[in-house]
Amino acid sequence: MNKKIALIKGDGIGPEIVESAVRVLDRIAEKYNHKFTYVDAPMGGNAIDVFGEPLPQSSIDTCLKSDAVLLGAVGGHKWDNLSGKMRPEAGLLGIRKALKVYANLRPAKLYPQLKERSPLKNEISEKGFDILIVRELTGGIYFGERGIRSGSLGREAYDTECYSEIEIERIARVAFEMAEKRNKKVTSIDKANVLESSRLWRKIVHDIAQDYPNIFVEDMLVDNAAMQLAKNPGQFDVILTSNMFGDILSDLASALTGSIGLLPSSSLGDSTLGLYEPIHGSAPDLPRNVANPIGTILSAAMMLSDSFNMPQEAKDIQDAVEKTLNNNYRTADIYMDGYIKCSTKEITDKIIEFI
């Protein structure tokens, strides 16, 4: 099978973790007689330096003509003082909008091999957890009306949270469909005691729930959800939430796994053209060849499964990651005394070896 993959390598550690994922994909292609063709699509700080903008139209066109997009990370101190629309992170919002990917799937799993790295108490980490956060990606406060105006106390800034029924319905259906394949439980996160947008969110979610009678649905306020994630993450199966709440809660969940470098994500819409990326940032201060590439490699596995319908190939990568951890290989972020410390390249070598 031939597939074209757009690579947004990005900034900081982005290029090296994307390179690790490409090496793993090449091993899969070799094993299963596939052909993966890669095309670069500059975005972020590197695009600002060359093109004067964080997301050139040429990069959008490249992504739209590809079968999937693999993204590293964008941003860095060099571009911190730029205005909002010119910041590297603006490219993220732009590419999500251009690809029409509205469902961000963020799994957070505590590997038994890494329970000692989790900040959770032993009696909690011993139980483990396997959570899928389904985050709405193209609506809400990140895409709402914003600006600077004169207020009663002088100059003020505003950002608007706005959700339509259609936006809520389509992300809710994604969450329920995911729950059907898992443990049949959806926890919908909102702030319905304060926000009008959350009250509509809650109503629409319960309307959609009627089409999934075998799924248990519960509502939880976002502040309580943060507390419950820290106290008892094992209670969650699928978490359904808005753009901003999902952004925050998924980072909290990632910290509970022992390292943000472990976790992948996929962003999907109504087509098979998806955007795949680790949930961490560009870590511009990190030395080269130190970063953990596992989150990016597992993102590539999600790409094989979700965009290319290659479930066995995806499982091979996931199994290889587990075997690597089982054999005590660790990057610096998850290293402990008694284990084998690896560079970015070395742990990628081991994952490839186990495929």
If one counts the domains in the chain, the total is 2
For residues 125 and 103, give the distance between their C-alpha atoms in angstroms, rounded to a whole number: 29
159, 207, 223, 270: which is the annotated catalytic residue?
A: 223
**Residue 205 is assigned to a structural domain of this protein:** yes
Q: Is residue 263 a part of any domain in this protein?
A: no
Same domain flag for 123 and 248: yes
Q: Could you give the CA distance from residue 339 to residue 329 in angstroms, rounded to a whole number?
A: 6
| 353 domain residue, yes or no | yes
* Range of the structural domain that residue 151 is part of: 119-256
Q: Residue 272 domain-assigned?
A: no
pLDDT at 84 over 80: no
- Tokens 């809710």 identify what position? 172
Query: Is 334 part of any domain?
Result: yes
Active-site entry in 190, 219, 247, 316:
247
How high does pLDDT run on average in the chain? 95
Whether 219 sits among the annotated catalytic residues: the reply is no
Residue 83: band (very low, low, confident or very high) from pLDDT cuts 50, 70, 90 = confident
| pLDDT above 70 as % of the chain | 100
Q: Quick one: CA dihedral 217, 223, 229, 231, positive or negative?
A: negative
Q: Give pLDDT tens digits for 199-210.
A: 999 999 999 999
* pLDDT score of 139: 94
Say whether pLDDT at 102 is over 90: yes
Instruction: Measure the CA dihedral 337/343/347/353, to 10°.
Output: -120
The two tokens of residue 221 are 């306020």
Under the banding of pLDDT at 50, 70 and 90, the label for residue 282 is very high
According to the 3-state scheme, what is the secondary structure of the chain? CEEEEEEEEECCCHHHHHHHHHHHHHHHHHHHCCEEEEEECCCCHHHHHHHCCCCCHHHHHHHHCCCEEEEEECCCHHHCCCCHHHCCCHHHHHHHHHHCCCEEEEEEECCHHHHHHCCCCHHHHCCCCEEEEEEECCCHHHCCCEEEEEECCEEEEEECCCCCHHHHHHHHHHHHHHHHCCCCEEEEEECCCCCHHHHHHHHHHHHHHCCCCCCEEEEEEHHHHHHHHHHCHHHCCEEEECHHHHHHHHHHHHHHCCCHHHCEEEEECCCCCCEEEECCCCCCCCCCCCCCCHHHHHHHHHHHHHCCCCHHHHHHHHHHHHHHHHCCEECHHHCCCCCEECCHHHHHHHHHHHC
345 is known as an active-site residue: no
Which tokens hold the place of 321? 């990651």
On whether both 248 and 333 belong to a single domain, the answer is no
Q: Is 191 a catalytic residue?
A: yes
Residue 167 and residue 62 in one domain: no
Domain of 353: which CATH number? 3.40.718.10
Active site residue 26: no
Task: Give me the amino acid identity at 214.
Answer: N
The residue from 237, 256, 275 where one domain ends is 256
- Catalytic residue, chosen from 4, 78, 127, 251, is 251
Contact criterion met (CB below 8 Å) for 266 and 275: yes
What are the beta bridge partners of residue 71?
A: 8
pLDDT tens-digit map of 303-314: 999 999 999 999
Does this model's pTM top 0.85? My answer is yes
Q: How many CA atoms lie within 13 A of 115 on its CB side?
A: 12
Q: What is the pLDDT of residues 176-193, one digit of tens each?
A: 999 999 999 999 999 999
Residues 153 and 251 occupy one common structural domain: yes
Per-residue confidence band for 110, with pLDDT thresholds at 50, 70 and 90: very high
Q: What's residue 45's pLDDT?
A: 95
- Residue 112: predicted pLDDT: 87
pLDDT, tens digit, 9 for 90 and up, residues 315-324: 999 999 999 9
The two beta strands, 130-136 and 103-109, are antiparallel
Q: Is pLDDT at 107 greater than 80 in this prediction?
A: yes
Nearest CA to 306 out of 181, 149, 198 is that of: 181
Which tokens is 194 given? 């304060």
What confidence score (pLDDT) does residue 65 get?
98
Question: Which residue in 11, 67, 102, 142 is the catalytic one?
Answer: 142
Sign of CA dihedral 267, 351, 342, 333: positive
Inside any domain, residue 265: no
Judge whether 266 lies within some domain: no
pLDDT of residue 59: 98
Select which of 163, 191, 237, 329 is catalytic: 191
Phi first, then psi: give them for residue 264, nearest 5 degrees: -95, 175
Has residue 111 been placed in a domain?
Answer: no
- Report the alpha-carbon distance of residue 32 to residue 311 in Å, rounded: 12
Angle among Cα 266, 251, 20 to the nearest 5 degrees reads 50
| pLDDT for the residue 171 | 98
